Structure 1
């Protein structure tokens, strides 16, 4: 029984063991499964958390990028440099503008001379008329529409102006001002904003065909373009094609560097997607057209199609030919590589490729393609600068902007500064300075020059040269030197006398030795240039021959304080030292200061502060308020007419007669001046249009052996040779008469008396003696004279 019971028990134990073993294996499998499930759960947990974190990070980064983009796009996209314009040439009957000067202006503005104008920016000319299809432009007084006008000339200037469309005579027509330069105050980028609507449609078509054909289909990034570029580049073994869309290029140009890295490309793509989502395709296209890098102009980066058009072709983008438009698009790929002045053939090949794309896609005809591909690039002449180098004038502009508009003005974006500069006068002045100084160098070394030309009617600075090298950006001698002005002070001595009834141009002045003593007991005995004395000499002769002794005798009678006051009334800004040598020009000044007081002489005795800036418009083309320039009547028109007449005699037969001989038949007014030991050579004068003041000397104040007539006047003579003068009209003044005076005594006489000459005089000063000044016989007295 025991055995019987033992066997089943053994069997039972084995079964239990097997069961235990199976359960263990099952438990291990379950544990492994559970462990595996736990790992996956952990991975999943970490993954979705990481995904959420990454999503949050990317979203946060995208929000950050979105804020950056919004600030740029919805605020001020660019700092637009201040545009500085010349004066706007006014054409009206009687304007002192001749045929030659108008054509020179049109060429400077980039107008094309044709047989018959058919579009804006073209003109034709005969010997007496100029037919102009004027461009539309923004004038300080408002927008000027395009119009076709005819300008007719006579020997005095403009005689008639009329509109061709309806043959209506016009009171005045303004030409657009010349864009002189842009004052860059921040990032060094030069740009000229042009709305897309003002750009040629073929230029936009060419851009899209060349740079981004799916621009209107993709959402900022084009995967197909990237894949296509990748295949092409792998096949070529190098980078030959890019996959960036216009939007990506814009993102890079606006916000990123040109560094080649995966991180930068990812950021570029994200920004492109955001830009595309936030803004319309037209907004993106306009931003691109005005931002794209188009080349380098010295230290300035050229950005945008508008400025590129001026940089390469010297004319507005709306007037570009098909060939020129194609070149601008061609240059985007590599402005340095396709530099047309250095690599013309390379540039033409790339341009022709763009033209071919336009033809193949039906944007232009085969005939248009052939004509454009066969045409030259039409680049601007290297002699025609994109921006004028006018260091002296721009220094005056900056100074005036600061004084009249405040020091922060140039920090504003998009302002437009309209100035008084006459580009033709400036060019004539610069050439005169270079040519004259080169000639004078043969006998004098280290000579320097300062020159200021003003607009006689507008009281604006028409030209300014501050160095013998007009482009030199250094010491501006036109405004900064202080040198004795010599005999240039004499007109102000004489006009002080002519304001008084007892003086006329015939009044005898003492030409006798005189010795004066100053407050320190020092004596001074002025001498005439020839060291001779005449006893007495008529005022007109003393003035025209620039005689020193009669001038000092006259000035002492008038009073030094009165002469100093006259000079200050004329606009001399400094206190005039009241000692006798002042009467011969021992007064320190600059060409700018001289130009100011001679402007008053040329303007009928009316003082108007010279200015370089006429108007400033803000980015919305609204005028910015400024401090007004001062003005007043310095002296009457009558005395002024007499001194102008005396100055014409200086040119006809006096110390400036060589100037008169150079321009026979032209009435000019002028005055020469020379300081002690010929250290400073001066000239100041005017024609009907301009007033000029010129100084020639040495920076070290050394002797030059030059007189006013041989140095400074030579510069002025060459200036008039470059810019033909307009004869002074010498319009009669109401209270001035043509009187007759006895040559020796200066007594007013009748016209039929002996030894008389005719001179202008104030009406109240001319009381002619009856009977030629002889005593009346008793019978004449009885008859009542």
Structure 2
């Protein structure tokens, strides 16, 4: 018995030890599992907080969008048929025989039928609308709605999205909500990237196993097993590093995202986050921006084939770059279209049409965003002055500006083309150019360098150079004021003069050709830009009075009241010149030039804005006389070459040249735009250019690209037709000999009776 017990003891002890070891392992295992579960739980809570902050806060920083002016059409608007056609092309409208959907138009020689897109306007949402626009020789004559033929007082086109002011992350996107996203894009995305999207819970184990098997069989990575939710987690929160730890974190985050948010929310986030390509230094994210980047139009107007390409490009935007690899891109697009057909989303006929269609890409030579460094600098300055520098850092801000894309394009072409010839004689030449809208007082275009896209010194705003004879219209405006003794026919002395200042220094102004005529009319003196008659006139009315006229017209910097300022010894910039010439063009009314018309916050609510009211600097009657004289400058004066280039078109202008031809200036206007142009050298060297051969050549090229609309010169009630003796300038009655007809102020026109001749005996008897 004792021996038997002794033999069993080792086996029992061994079994006991085995049970004890298993117990220790089990105990350690469940403890480690519990610790692991706790770690995963706490890590999951940590990830959940990160995800919640991203999803429930601001998912993206949406760059401030900068828009052009919204073209306003109304009966009498100075917009021609070709100009509206060009605007529609710029906006990406499609010309068709009969508009059947939004974004299309048709055109005859005098009419345009347009189906306008809906858009957000600073004054409220504008719905889609179908209209007929009729033109005559003056511009727009009528606008009528197609559905009921009702005549519209005003009709707006959507503004052009010029650019987005990108923050430091370099990402660019346009947010598109799920409701606005075309269904074919969503359907194709799910077919190509995640067919079981609505069934899985963020991770699809079967897809992962299938992808692993395919990749092992192929010996390389040919298929991915990530769901859309996993891709979103990676794009939102993780790097592109390939590691097991990163994949685990991605999967865990995908499960949390799927648990917390609806499938539609996840889908919307993915469609606006997915990387779609590279626009130079800018990363293109989201389908909305990709539509503009590849096709130059809103995503809602893309064809099925174009929508299929966007989904196709997700797999590899660089690999499927349609401009570099068109065949590869078409093959991938057609695969997506085939999947849509096989799933029943497209019928055979629709599939054939889509597959046979070209990609329809935008012109790659024209950037999707416009380089406007000079103009944007002024926009930022104005926004900072009005709202503070923090506004542009806010997400979703929309800035509506005064820029006219067609005027800007014409200005840039004019500068580039003209400098090809100007540069042959002097490579150091530079330019500053400002174009304004005559009716709104907004800056329509700006060029600050002979390379328009160069982001550097802005000569349109920053230079200060003598403006030369551009000052003369303000001397004559002062002289032609109401109750003045001067008329357009008044004789002015053109004889040598010498002026002495208080220090005893003398000044003897000369005419351009160093000759003197003895006497000329006021109109001739301005038309021929004669210096000596202008100085005589300025001294007669008072240099201080001329300074006052210029200041009231918008010249904000101090002016010295010296006689030399009458000939342009005044330093200014193209912007400063444009400001005062805008006053001349706008019937003598001054209002400060602006670049920003409205700003909307992220909720599309308008921010308060104060606009300066018009102030009458020059009476409309006087201004009409000055405009008349400036039209004669173009017809037969120093700007005759410009008039010959556009016969039959009423234009007003003035040339200017500083001493030794260091600065070439021109300022002028038609019925729509005012332009101020400087051409010179940064080092203030001689250019051998005059106002008519340098700056005016740029303006002439501008009008060639943007055909002018003739001035509508309607005399105000205070202006009448007067008759003046050609030799003496004396006011005469109609029918008198040796007279010329000129506009005159009603209050100052006092013609001599009987042509100023002694009465005959029979006139005395008749009491005449």
Report the TM-score when normalising by structure 2: 0.97
1:322-359 CA distance string (max 9 Å, x none):
11111111100000000111111111111111111111
Residue in 1 aligned with 2:399?
Answer: 417
1:212-261 CA distance string (max 9 Å, x none):
00000000000011011011111111000000000000000000011000
CA RMSD of aligned residues (A): 1.7
1:621 and 2:600 aligned: no
Residue in 2 aligned with 1:606?
Answer: 589
Residue in 2 aligned with 1:364?
Answer: 346
Structure 1 residue 26: Cα displacement: 5.7
1:340 and 2:322 aligned: yes
Q: SS of the residue aligned with 2:239?
A: coil
Say if 2:493 and 2:519, in contact at 8 Å, map to a contact too: yes
Q: SS of the residue aligned with 2:424?
A: coil
Residue in 2 aligned with 1:168?
Answer: 150
1:696-716 CA distance string (max 9 Å, x none):
111121111111011111111
Match of 1:109 among 91, 111, 121: 91
Match of 1:520 among 500, 503, 507: 503
Residue in 2 aligned with 1:565?
Answer: 548
For residues 380 and 24 of structure 1, the distance between their equivalents in structure 2, rounded to whole angstroms, comes to 96
For residues 208 and 149 of structure 1, the distance between their equivalents in structure 2, rounded to whole angstroms, comes to 39
Alignment of 1:490-529 (within 5 A): 490-501=472-483, 502-529=485-512
Alignment of 1:734-773 (within 5 A): 734-773=717-756
Q: 1:200 to 1:531 in 2, by over 3 A?
A: same
Q: Which portions of structure 1, spanning 4 or more consecutive aligned residues, are displaced by more than 6 angstroms?
A: 777-784
For residues 598 and 653 of structure 1, the distance between their equivalents in structure 2, rounded to whole angstroms, comes to 21
Structure 1 residue 578: Cα displacement: 1.6
Alignment of 1:283-302 (within 5 A): 283-302=265-284
For residues 59 and 675 of structure 1, the distance between their equivalents in structure 2, rounded to whole angstroms, comes to 79
Match of 1:719 among 702, 705, 713: 702
1:587 and 2:608 aligned: no
Say if 1:391 and 1:471, in contact at 8 Å, map to a contact too: yes
Q: SS of the residue aligned with 1:101?
A: helix
Decide which structure has the larger Cα Rg and report it: 1
Say if 1:684 and 1:694, in contact at 8 Å, map to a contact too: yes
Alignment of 1:452-463 (within 5 A): 452-463=434-445
Q: Point out where structure 2 has 5 or more consecutive residues left out of the alignment.
A: none
Say if 1:405 and 1:627, in contact at 8 Å, map to a contact too: no
Structure 1 residue 776: Cα displacement: 5.4
Residue in 1 aligned with 2:302?
Answer: 320
Residue in 2 aligned with 1:64?
Answer: 46
Alignment of 1:122-141 (within 5 A): 122-141=104-123
Say if 1:404 and 1:628, in contact at 8 Å, map to a contact too: no
Match of 1:42 among 4, 20, 24: 24
Alignment of 1:671-690 (within 5 A): 671-690=654-673
Say if 1:79 and 1:413, in contact at 8 Å, map to a contact too: yes
Structure 1 residue 742: Cα displacement: 1.7
Say if 1:185 and 1:410, in contact at 8 Å, map to a contact too: no
For residues 297 and 44 of structure 2, the distance between their equivalents in structure 1, rounded to whole angstroms, comes to 42
Structure 1 residue 371: Cα displacement: 1.5
Q: SS of the residue aligned with 1:442?
A: helix
For residues 519 and 367 of structure 1, the distance between their equivalents in structure 2, rounded to whole angstroms, comes to 92
1:237 and 2:219 aligned: yes
Alignment of 1:156-195 (within 5 A): 156-195=138-177
Report the TM-score when normalising by structure 1: 0.95
The range that moved more, 25-34 or 586-595, is: 25-34
For residues 580 and 60 of structure 1, the distance between their equivalents in structure 2, rounded to whole angstroms, comes to 83
For residues 74 and 546 of structure 2, the distance between their equivalents in structure 1, rounded to whole angstroms, comes to 39
For residues 442 and 334 of structure 1, the distance between their equivalents in structure 2, rounded to whole angstroms, comes to 47
Q: SS of the residue aligned with 1:232?
A: helix
For residues 166 and 31 of structure 2, the distance between their equivalents in structure 1, rounded to whole angstroms, comes to 51
For residues 767 and 39 of structure 2, the distance between their equivalents in structure 1, rounded to whole angstroms, comes to 118
Q: SS of the residue aligned with 1:151?
A: strand
Residue in 2 aligned with 1:474?
Answer: 456
Say if 1:447 and 1:696, in contact at 8 Å, map to a contact too: yes
1:709 and 2:668 aligned: no
Residue in 2 aligned with 1:5?
Answer: none
Q: SS of the residue aligned with 1:143?
A: strand
1:658 and 2:641 aligned: yes
Structure 1 residue 42: Cα displacement: 3.2
The range that moved more, 214-223 or 517-526, is: 517-526
Say if 2:482 and 2:747, in contact at 8 Å, map to a contact too: no
1:543 and 2:526 aligned: yes
Structure 1 residue 535: Cα displacement: 2.3
Say if 1:323 and 1:375, in contact at 8 Å, map to a contact too: yes
1:679-737 CA distance string (max 9 Å, x none):
11000000000000011111121111111011111111111111111000012201111
For residues 472 and 27 of structure 2, the distance between their equivalents in structure 1, rounded to whole angstroms, comes to 100
1:291-342 CA distance string (max 9 Å, x none):
1000000000000001001111111111111111111111000000001111
Q: SS of the residue aligned with 1:153?
A: strand
The range that moved more, 621-630 or 94-103, is: 621-630
Q: SS of the residue aligned with 2:677?
A: strand
For residues 72 and 457 of structure 2, the distance between their equivalents in structure 1, rounded to whole angstroms, comes to 33
Structure 1 residue 440: Cα displacement: 1.8
Q: Point out where structure 1 has 5 or more consecutive residues left out of the alignment.
A: 1-17
Say if 1:659 and 1:717, in contact at 8 Å, map to a contact too: yes
Say if 2:274 and 2:286, in contact at 8 Å, map to a contact too: yes
Residue in 1 aligned with 2:80?
Answer: 98
Structure 1 residue 522: Cα displacement: 2.0
Q: SS of the residue aligned with 1:197?
A: coil
The range that moved more, 261-270 or 496-505, is: 496-505
For residues 778 and 509 of structure 1, the distance between their equivalents in structure 2, rounded to whole angstroms, comes to 36
Say if 2:633 and 2:653, in contact at 8 Å, map to a contact too: yes
1:275 and 2:249 aligned: no
Q: SS of the residue aligned with 1:68?
A: helix
The range that moved more, 366-375 or 320-329, is: 366-375
Structure 1 residue 480: Cα displacement: 1.1
Say if 2:655 and 2:692, in contact at 8 Å, map to a contact too: yes
The range that moved more, 75-84 or 763-772, is: 763-772
Say if 1:94 and 1:158, in contact at 8 Å, map to a contact too: yes
Say if 1:737 and 1:761, in contact at 8 Å, map to a contact too: yes
Aligned length: 767
1:65-110 CA distance string (max 9 Å, x none):
0111111110111000111111111111111000110111111111
Match of 1:730 among 709, 713, 732: 713
Residue in 1 aligned with 2:377?
Answer: 395
Q: 1:26 to 1:540 in 2, by over 3 A?
A: same
For residues 675 and 392 of structure 1, the distance between their equivalents in structure 2, rounded to whole angstroms, comes to 25
Structure 1 residue 749: Cα displacement: 1.4
Alignment of 1:148-159 (within 5 A): 148-159=130-141
